[in-house]
Amino acid sequence: MTKILLTGATGQVGRRFLPRLVQWAGADAVRVLVRDAARVEAAARAGVEVVTGDLRDAGDRAKALAGATAVVNVAAAFRGVPDEEALAVNRDAAVALGEQAARAGVTRFVQASTNLVHPGGLGRPAVESDPAEPGAGATAYPVSKAQAEAGLRALGGALELTVLRLAFVYGEGDSHLRDALRFTGRWPAHKRLTVVHHADVAQALRRALSSPQAAGRTYNVADDAPVSSLDLHQLHGQTLPAGAAALVDGDPWEMTASNAALRAELGWRPLYPSVWTARDAGAL
């Protein structure tokens, strides 16, 4: 019997993916590892198996992995946490989960990473074969994610791994795009950011789980139209900061990534090719 373990089910990505996974796979095929079971009560009532525990605890990981046939690891410590916590969750716990999953006989392990693992200075949108080496001054989030990728790949054939490098995720009530104004307000007006809607992240996760050709592969998950700082301000009815239009972007391809491999190999197509499509559909 299929049993898919989902971590991070109460986070921004996981809580939007969980009901879709239940719809696609059936509630009895889904298990979640969460620290607070109260936050997944509705899923539990629907038939999802809930394991209460911490991803950083080996015993809790073992309970969650018992009998699992696949893992989707979207758990993450993001902005606003100490560097040590980001490394402990995003790198150490992820790699340990992969090691235990391999020993438990898990047949597919999908790791959510970030396109921020790509360095700047490429002169084009990043592709999957570019080094996963965040540039100098990178925060602990992309550093920990890059190191998690390396640690999981080091397991070699013991783990059937697929890595999804997510762009800046938004939509369905997520405040991520509005929160971005805190730093995009310092950007040149034309500087761009690659983004992707939660619905399209879910599509990519599903294909990574179910497509045989996804095994061993890494994919950027991004929509078709990076947004500029000006776009983000206009989208939220905000005035562009004074002087932003006169600033010059020294690396116009930084934080952009190509989705060509995901399209070509897994047949993925974004439901929301741009934030404007999502806005017009009422999906922000």
Reduced DSSP (H G I as helix, E B as strand, rest coil) percent helix, strand, coil of the chain, to 5? 45, 15, 40
| Mean pLDDT of the region 5-29 | 98
Among 183, 185, 192, 182, CA closest to 242: 185
CB 90 within 8 A of CB 139: no
Assess whether pLDDT exceeds 90 at residue 189. yes
Q: Which of 237, 231, 160 is nearest to 194 (CA)?
A: 231
**Those residues with Cβ within 8 angstroms of residue 258's Cβ, 6 or more apart along the chain or in another chain:** 124, 125, 126, 127, 220, 222
Rounded to the nearest 5°, which phi and psi values hold at 227? Answer: -100, 145
Question: Whose CA is closest to 269, among 165, 171, 197?
Answer: 197
Going from N- to C-terminal start, the domains of the chain cover 4-169+197-222+258-270
Please state which of the ranges 37-46, 62-71, 73-82, 109-118 shows the lowest mean pLDDT.
Answer: 73-82
Please tell me the least confidently modeled range out of 3-12, 74-83, 85-94, 190-199.
Answer: 74-83
Percentage of residues of the chain with pLDDT beyond 70: 100
What mean pLDDT comes out for the span 198-219? 98
- Please report, rounded to a whole number, the percentage of residues in the chain having pLDDT higher than 90: 96
Complete edge-to-edge strand list for the sheet that includes strand 49-52: 49-52, 30-34, 4-7, 70-73, 108-114, 161-166, 218-221
**What is the reported pLDDT for 79?**
76
3-state secondary structure of 205: helix
Report the pLDDT averaged over residues 254-282. Answer: 97
The CATH topology of domain 4-169+197-222+258-270 is: Rossmann fold (3.40.50)
pLDDT band at 136 (very low <50, low <70, confident <90, very high): confident
For residue 197, the model assigns a pLDDT of: 98
pLDDT at 137 > cutoff 90: no
Residue 135 has pLDDT above 90, yes or no: no
Q: How far apart are CA 217 and CA 225, in angstroms?
A: 24
